[in-house]
Chain A
Amino acid sequence: MNYISLQFVNFFIIILILYYIMPLRLRNFLLLGTSLYFYACFDIAYVPFLIFVALSTFIVAKVKKRKKLWLWVVISANVLLWFIIKFHYFIFAYLDQFLGIVKLPPIGDKFSILVPVGISYYILQAIAYVLDVHRNKIEPETKFWKYLLFLSYFPAIVQGPISRYDKLMPELTKSKKFNYDTFANNLLLVLLGLVKKMVIADRIAIYANYCFNNYDSLSGFTLYLGAIAYSIQLYTDFSGCVDICRGVSGMLGIELAENFNHPYMATSIKEFWGKWHISLSSWLKDYIYIPLGGNRNGALRKNFNLLATFTVSGIWHGFGMHYIVWGALQAISQITSSYTITLRTTIKQWLKIEKDSLSERFYKHFITLHLILISWIFFRAENLTIAFRYICNMFTEWNILELMNNSLFDQGVNFFYFIILFIHIAVLFMSEYYANKHKNMVLIIRESHIFIRWSIYFVLIYDLLLFGVYGSGYDTSGFLYGGF
């Protein structure tokens, strides 16, 4: 059951009605049952994996003796489980290669291991929970069903945000009376998320996919536009889905953590990682970067820690050198940045760019966004070779006149939809810029005059109906971050 499907809408309406007519004390039981049912709808075989992760971490968090040993046992077991499930295809491929060398029959085709949806997310939640208990940051949960609800909570299980126990559990257990304004705010958040996902992400994906699938026969400006298209697709797809999940949860009176804070407004890579996939970034910071020593043991150690943290981030996203290089690039950009402050200051002085001026902000934005753009090519490409070839081709035959001929509009996004996309992207980033400076876009709309507010609702609904990519031929399973 996908979040963007009629099946989910029907399912959620029923849950919503039951939820608000049910006595407060029974609501969390309903949420647990609903969450398990939702997860089982993908495949009933996924549920034992969830139960194993929940049970193992729940028990170990309560252990009194040899706490450290059990802690490492349970973390290792869960990471190993995740690693085998996630990368079994590659493990068996390499194993079969080895067996071929020693003249033994291959075994890879005999094993078919399921990859449960959302396992990468709830395992991180579970590890954070046992570590926080071990560090005495939180008390261990006494009721297993509550802990299972924390891990399986249906709006967040597919692609996060990765919630912390001390943040989500109070939300789950608080008294959740119906509040009209909260409900309306979250419904609007769902609508905005749907527009981001269905109108922008899925439309621009057509062009991005065309460029990445035909990188060998394309060059210059087309591939550059393709990389920009993918950057926008990734952001609108992921943040759109998170908006939907947060909105759905909010309608139940449960607030999920923010996962994005206008990341493309960042003026440095470090700032970008404080704004992009915040729940993962903060998890990596709290459970890898800081335990490794953070920035406490000198510059060299700090650089190593950064590199290790982002490499883990790369591995978390998937198997392949291109993910590792993508992760490493984030660290290298930050390390390089710290060593080139003097050089960059000299360049800015030479270019007569004043500190904190508009031109400096533009310069910082431009550099940051292009570093991210390059790194996303590694993220999107199927392997390292393709990523390098894409980048090489991007820097050949650079001809901006390509924009003038109609070939740009022959790749699945015609002139009309290109203009529609352009308007949407412009409105999205202008509103992000405004919201970054002032306050949440949802609140800005909700606090406006009823005539303006209703007009915006109508525009958004019609926008979705007319320009959304849906209907026959639309792959509803296509959330980019649902695959990680």
Chain B
Amino acid sequence: MKRDDGIFAALLLVVVIGFLAVATQLNSTAARMPVMVGTFTLLCLIAYFVFEYRQPAKPSKKPEADEGDEGEIKLQWTDPRIWGWLLVLLVLTYALGVIVGLGLLTIFFYRFAAQGTWRGAIVFGVLEAAFLYVVFVVGFQGQLYEGLIAEWLFAL
């Protein structure tokens, strides 16, 4: 974990250096605050590597017992099956729009991640999409994004 911690801090270091590099391209007034803030964060990151990262790691605590189904598989945080769902959310909402995309996400999530039945997944997904439609489109007269595919079809 400590090694991962160091990699993350190094990644932040790269981001901050990039941030400062972009600041140098700005005019002096616009660059003043970013340079101050970037330099401050850079110094803090250096201080982290000098004072904290070099210290020996403390023994990790015993993990807490979690509720959940017996025999349920606990996934590692790095597992793509965890963070991949955010990418699926992004792709579906961009491609199919907010209501259809989110409804489909719910169906796929319930069916594949939660191992539910297709019928349950479809009911849950349709109910969620209907709720969002009633509240945000009918109730608040909102104009929701309809997706790249719909835009492309309308353009034909």
A and B are partners in one complex rather than unrelated chains: no
